[in-house]
């Protein structure tokens, strides 16, 4: 019992140290994985912690679980639009590119380490995949924004190249240890792994979406757990049937992440935290597993292999593929440089230890050294290289940061928290000037430690947190009201149920329309009375250019609610391009 208590305390301390070390990532320009590894190494038997950990089986089991959760979260955050945009170059890089990288690195490793060609190829396969999380955490920390095609290519390649590296590693180990035939046997293994992985990932993904939108759970916290279980189910079923569990869990994540389901934002936040916990736990554990003094015995070999990987293997795998798809030389250079090695190579380096390969310890130490060099060298210079290549673009306008707080039971409504950015449309405007749809209520505003009563005269400020009660189908419209100036929603609303007191100028400001013309201060109620005159009544309609107005509700002679319908959406999009400059506070 005492040992268990100590392990819990030790695990908590190491995780906290890992989290605190992440604060240094932006300052030092290093990927967080390097800092997490260093925490583990410092706590290990050669470090100040003197913790002896030498259990490859436990490290493999925990690492596989962590990696599955990380890939699932990567799938959840991968838009289908990004995949459609770059699936051809990204898929070739994730398969053929990994193979070329593995062969080039493996041939060099066999000569440098004086091991057999197959063992060298095994080492090349192990370091064949890149680490998406490391790359984009660095880009985000440095405030770097790339064009959508380049960014999507890096994301999809990094997220999808792990199954190929895992297949090559397992296949080569089967040849080395179990005598698998390199030709037909390896091809059958590839088709089985990829085919089953893809099919099961799709089946489980679509299955859980159909279930989660029909089932009614009493506790809202069970929905994120249900989604997690579905991802692990995809991994487990695929792996047990001989398919690629990692491909299955990633595809399942993509299907779930691009569907609409209850408590979606809560689920995404839950998995983001779970992925971070998995990364910290995995890298700290791998840092404990390595004996730092053993790296000194392979330092020069590791440097040579890392140089071949970074300056030879990666470029010859990337340049011909991207040239074929019309990328320019600057973009190809950046993709070649963005080849950080991370969690997957170290996890795969445990495989030879478990298979009992004679050169397993040498391969593990070299791989660990190569990952450290790659992550440190490429990670610390990534932002500098992107700037030198002049590939950095201005940050795009964003939707407001949102948090789905709760669904109001059987009522078709929920409470959502919005956080205003410095560039938000709502910043420095009075709450009454925000053309919120009829029925949307700002229940509370928090500003730092203060609670601000939500009155019409309240001036909203950047970093304010607004707690808004609304119907579910109003989300897209309300998001647009609090978004950054110039933000273009993925799904453009065409109908707006607005208050009669909302002025045309405020509607223009919030939704990017061009209604005001010479009547900027006119309200919707006044416009209806002007246009309809004596025929003013509920359900009466009139049109101005592409905008159709319907009197939805009246109280006595007052027009309380107006339904605004955008008839010609293409014209509305054209008009919206100048809307942010059309009206000023």
From-to residues of CATH 3.30.465.10 in the chain: 494-585
Q: What is the pLDDT of residue 405?
A: 53
CA distance 497 to 438: 6
What phi and psi values does residue 242 have, to the nearest 5 degrees?
95, 5
Structure tokens belonging to residue 577: 């391009």
The backbone region for 493, taken as left when phi is positive above 0, alpha when psi lies in -120 to 50, beta otherwise, is beta
β-strand partners of 562: 498, 551
Contact 349, 165 (CB under 8 A): no
Q: Check if the beta carbon of residue 478 is closer than 8 Å to that of residue 470.
A: yes
Q: What is the DSSP string of 442-462?
A: EEEEEETTEEEP--TTPBP-T
Cα–Cα distance, 187 to 125 (Å, whole number): 16
Q: How far apart are CA 516 and CA 507, in angstroms?
A: 8
CATH of 494-585, one of 3.40.718.10, 3.20.20.80, 3.30.565.10, 3.30.465.10: 3.30.465.10
- What is the rounded CA–CA span in Å between residue 509 and residue 66? 46
Tell me the CATH architecture of domain 2-388.
Up-down Bundle (1.20)
287, 40 Cβ separation under 8 angstroms = yes
Tens-digit pLDDT profile for the chain (585 aa)?
Answer: 446 777 778 778 878 877 777 666 666 666 777 778 888 888 877 777 777 777 888 888 888 898 888 889 888 888 887 788 888 898 899 889 999 999 999 999 999 999 999 999 999 999 988 876 666 566 666 566 778 788 888 878 877 788 888 888 888 888 888 777 666 667 777 888 888 999 999 999 999 998 987 887 777 788 899 999 999 999 999 999 988 888 899 899 999 988 888 778 788 888 888 888 888 888 888 888 888 888 888 888 999 999 999 999 999 999 999 999 889 999 999 888 887 787 788 888 888 888 888 888 899 899 989 988 888 888 778 778 888 888 877 665 555 555 555 554 455 567 788 888 888 888 898 988 888 888 888 888 988 888 888 888 889 988 888 888 887 677 778 888 888 877 777 666 788 888 888 888 888 888 878 776 656 678 888 888 888 888 889 898 988 888 889 999 999 889 999 998 887 644 444 444 443 433 333
Q: What is the CB neighbour count within 10 angstroms for residue 344?
A: 26
**In the chain, where does the domain assigned CATH 1.20.1530.20 lie?**
2-388
Q: List every span in the chain annotated with CATH 3.30.70.1450.
A: 396-489
- Strand order through the sheet with 547-555: 495-499, 558-566, 547-555, 541-544
Of the candidates 490, 517, 505, 493, which has an alpha carbon nearest to the alpha carbon of residue 435? 505
The whole-angstrom separation of Cα 427 and Cα 413 is 25
The CA distance from 238 to 31, in Å, is: 31
In this prediction, residue 226 carries a pLDDT of 93
For 61, the token pair is 């089991």
Please give the backbone phi and psi of residue 416, each rounded to the nearest 5 degrees, phi first. Answer: -125, 140
Question: The whole model's pTM is what?
Answer: 0.71
Burial of residue 552 (CB within 10 Å: 0-12, 13-18, 19+) is middle
pLDDT score at 402? 55
User: What dotted CATH number matches 396-489?
Assistant: 3.30.70.1450
Task: Report, in angstroms and rounded to the nearest whole number, the Rg of the chain calculated over CA atoms.
Answer: 28
Partners of residue 495 on adjacent β-strands: 565
Count Cβ atoms below 10 Å from residue 393 Cβ, excluding itself.
Answer: 13
Answer whether 556's CB lies under 8 Å from 494's CB. no
Q: What is the pLDDT of residue 317?
A: 92
Number of Cβ atoms within 10 Å of the Cβ of 326: 9
Query: In terms of Cα–Cα distance, which of 343, 350, 329, 330 is closest to 374?
Result: 343
């Amino acid at each position: 019992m005492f040992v268990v208590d100590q392990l819990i305390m030790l695990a908590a301390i190491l995780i906290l140290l890992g989290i605190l070390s992440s604060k240094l990532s932006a300052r030092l320009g290093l990927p967080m994985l390097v800092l997490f590894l260093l925490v583990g190494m410092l706590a290990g038997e050669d470090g100040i912690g003197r913790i002896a950990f030498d259990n490859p089986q436990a490290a493999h089991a925990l690492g596989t679980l962590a990696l599955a959760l990380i890939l699932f979260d990567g799938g959840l955050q991968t838009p289908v639009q990004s995949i459609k945009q770059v699936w051809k170059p990204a898929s070739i890089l994730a398969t053929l590119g990994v193979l070329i990288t593995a062969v080039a690195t493996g041939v060099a490793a066999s000569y440098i380490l004086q091991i057999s060609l197959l063992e060298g190829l095994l080492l090349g396969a192990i370091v064949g995949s890149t680490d998406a999380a490391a790359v984009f955490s660095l880009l985000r920390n440095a405030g770097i924004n790339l064009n959508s095609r380049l960014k999507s290519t890096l994301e999809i390649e990094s997220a999808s190249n792990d199954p190929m590296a895992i297949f090559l590693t397992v296949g080569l180990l089967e040849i080395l240890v179990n005598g698998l035939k390199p030709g037909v046997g390896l091809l059958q293994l590839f088709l089985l792994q990829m085919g089953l992985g893809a099919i099961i990932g799709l089946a489980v993904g679509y299955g859980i979406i159909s279930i989660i939108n029909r089932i009614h759970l009493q506790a809202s916290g069970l929905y994120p757990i249900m989604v997690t279980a579905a991802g692990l189910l995809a991994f487990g079923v695929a792996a047990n049937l001989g398919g690629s569990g990692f491909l299955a869990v990633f595809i399942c994540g993509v299907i779930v992440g691009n569907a609409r389901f209850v408590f979606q934002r809560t689920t995404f936040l839950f998995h983001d935290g779970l992925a971070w916990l998995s990364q910290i736990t995995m890298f700290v554990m791998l840092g404990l597993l390595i004996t730092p003094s053993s790296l000194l015995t392979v330092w020069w070999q590791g440097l040579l292999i890392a140089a071949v990987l970074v300056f030879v293997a990666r470029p010859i795998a990337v340049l011909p593929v991207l040239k074929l798809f019309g990328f320019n030389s600057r973009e190809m250079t950046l993709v070649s440089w963005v080849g950080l090695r991370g969690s997957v190579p170290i996890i795969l380096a445990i495989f030879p230890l478990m298979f009992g390969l004679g050169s397993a310890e040498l391969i593990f130490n070299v791989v660990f050294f190569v990952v450290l060099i790659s992550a440190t060298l490429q990670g610390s210079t990534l932002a500098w290289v992107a700037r030198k290549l002049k590939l950095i673009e201005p940050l795009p306008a964003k939707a407001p940061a949102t948090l789905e707080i709760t669904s109001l039971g059987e009522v078709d409504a929920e409470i959502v928290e919005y956080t205003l950015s410095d560039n938000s449309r709502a910043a420095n405007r009075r709450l009454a000037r925000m053309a919120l749809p009829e029925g949307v209520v700002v229940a509370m505003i928090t500003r730092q430690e203060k609670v601000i009563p939500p009155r019409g005269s309240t001036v909203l400020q950047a970093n304010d947190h607004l707690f808004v009660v609304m119907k579910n189908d109003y989300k897209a419209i309300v998001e647009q009201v609090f978004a950054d100036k110039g933000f273009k929603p993925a799904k453009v609303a065409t109908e707006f149920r607005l208050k009669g007191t909302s002025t045309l100028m405020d509607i223009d400001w919030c939704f990017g329309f061009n209604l005001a013309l010479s009547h900027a201060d006119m309200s919707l109620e006044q416009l209806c009375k002007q246009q309809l005159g004596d025929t003013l009544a509920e359900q009466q309609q009139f049109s101005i250019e592409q905008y159709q107005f319907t009197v939805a509700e009246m109280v006595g002679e007052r027009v309380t609610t107006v339904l605004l319908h955008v008839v010609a959406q293409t014209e509305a999009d054209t008009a919206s391009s100048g809307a942010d400059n059309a009206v000023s506070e």
